[in-house]
């Protein structure tokens, strides 16, 4: 799965408007928004998949 940094930034911004994400999720989204300078770890990537589902349920695509 390849999601560009700009998409992660958009998810982070929209989620923050709704107070949707936990501090840990926000921190990991900040890392993902810096791809390719910073790359999420495997554990962080699993959380990012959950974040995508959570965002989708809230209408954030």
Q: What is the per-residue pLDDT across 8-57, written as a single tens digit (0 to 9) for each?
A: 999 999 999 999 999 999 999 999 999 999 999 999 999 999 999 999 99
* Residue 20, domain extent: 5-57
Burial class (CB in 10 A: 0-12, 13-18, 19+), 9: middle
Q: What total number of domains does the chain contain?
A: 1
Q: Does pLDDT of 1 surpass 80?
A: no
Position with higher pLDDT, 18 vs 61 = 18
pLDDT, position 61: 85
DSSP states of 6-49 as a string?
Answer: HHHHHHHHHHHHTT-S-HHHHHHHHHHTTTTTS---HHHHHHHH
């Amino acid at each position: 799965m390849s999601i560009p940094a700009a998409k992660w930034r958009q998810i982070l911004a929209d989620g923050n408007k709704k107070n949707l994400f936990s501090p840990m999720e926000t921190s990991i989204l900040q890392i993902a928004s810096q791809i390719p300078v910073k790359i999420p770890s495997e554990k962080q990537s699993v959380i990012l998949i959950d974040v995508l589902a959570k965002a989708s349920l809230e209408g954030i695509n």
